[in-house]
Structure 1
Amino acid sequence: MCQTYMEDFVHELYTRMDILEPHQLSYQNISTNLGIRVLHWYESSQALFFNNQSYIFLNTYLSEEQKWQDFCHELGHVLLHAGNQKKLSKEFIRYQEEKANLFMYHACIPSFMLKQLKICDATYETIKMIRELFCVEENFAKKRLERYLNNLFYRHVVYNEQFISNWL
């Protein structure tokens, strides 16, 4: 069955870096592979481009789970966007933030890794396993798992409708 653009993008990105298992997912590993400098500071996390170098600033006070999630959000900006948000319209900033959030969920918990786990429910035990395996917060794991399962269900329904239509 087909995947979304974001699923394909993340899968290709991680495959190029030889990141194929959840234990390989870390902002240190990914930033090193991509040549992105990660700095810690006391302000909100953000991405910056300067002299052809990408920087991601992570808030020092965040938990490791929050740092990983923030890193993936900011990485979405680095990989998918260009320019200074201070010069953009509110609508375009909102679009970029939504796109970075979508990337964040897929980068923190890639679909191709979930598929390997053969997950079929969103019970507390499954959410806990995802949270621990991918080093994310519980609500984050729950939301990502719900989206993943909804997409699987939707693809299954569409695939079966196409099969039935073609068969009739």
Structure 2
Amino acid sequence: MHSLIAEVFEPQTWLEERVYELLELHGIRQPREIRVSELCSAYGIELWDIAGRSRAHPHPYLPGRFVIAVDHSLPLPQRREKIAHELGHLLLHEGMQPWGKDAMIDWQEAQANHFAEHLLMPYPMFGPLLENCSRYEAPSRLAAIFRVPLSLAQKRFDRLLSRMYAKGHPLIW
């Protein structure tokens, strides 16, 4: 793979910048250090295993605290993605979902999805991981290293290719 220019890995949005600051605040510099359960714990958020749809909600016994309830039957990569998504809701939206406002809910869901992508697969960590790797092998390699679903790794890698193209970098490696 051609050497990637640092500007491709620089934050391009407010949300991406905030997530990278969060990672820096917690000293997270390597994929193996991205432990969503520890991040939740750092913010006083409890993780509960449930049977059913994953969600975040106020803690039933501790005012001002929250719970992320995650379907216990999910494989680890999907579980990490769900926790990161719900953590995004809590950190960005304080767990609030207004009723009857479909456009607002769609916006919050999209924002929580992007939060999860940036948190679980930060672009600055991609560079050395993609050395000596074809663009066809990259998504599965990234999925394994970042412990995320292949679909998320593919989406994130496709966005990186789009970003490289937009910045005028070659997409052949």
TM-score past 0.5 threshold: yes
Residues in 2 aligned to 1:149 and 1:71: alpha-carbon distance in whole angstroms = 26
Conserved? CA contact 2:16–2:118, under 8 Å: yes
The change in CA–CA distance for 1:94 and 1:129 in structure 2 (over 3 A counts) is same
Q: Deviations over 1:96-147 (max 9, x none)?
A: 1111111111111111212454569762321121011000111211111111
By how many angstroms is 1:25 displaced?
1.2
Query: Which deviates more, 37-46 or 148-157?
Result: 148-157
1:112-151 equivalences under 5 Å are 112-117=124-129, 123-151=135-163
Secondary structure at 1:39 match in 2: strand
- Asked if 1:29 is matched to 2:63, the reply is no
Report the equivalent of 1:43: 52
Higher relative contact order structure (alpha carbons within 8 Å, sequence separation ≥ 6) = 2
Pairing 1:3–2:14 present: no
Closer, same or farther: CA 121–101 of 1 in aligned 2, 3 Å: farther
| Counterpart in the other structure of 1:19 | 28
Query: Normalized against structure 2, the TM-score is what?
Result: 0.81
- In structure 2, relative to structure 1, the CA distance for the partners of 1:55 and 1:70 (3 Å cut) is same
SS at match of 2:148: coil
> Does 2:71 match 1:59?
yes
Corresponding position of 1:162: none
Q: Deviations over 1:5-25 (max 9, x none)?
A: 222111100110111110011
The answer to whether residue 139 in structure 2 is matched with residue 110 in structure 1 is no
Matches of 1:83 and 1:13 in 2, distance apart?
18
Q: Please name the residue that 2:92 is paired with.
A: 80
**d(CA) in 2 for partners of 1:122, 1:66:** 25
Aligned length: 157
Aligned partner of 1:3: which letter?
P
Distance in structure 2 (CA, Å) of the matches to 1:154 and 1:119: 21
Q: Which protein has the bigger helix share? A: 1
Counterpart CA distance in 2 for 1:122 and 1:100 is: 30
Q: Which runs of 5+ in 1 are unaligned?
A: 158-168
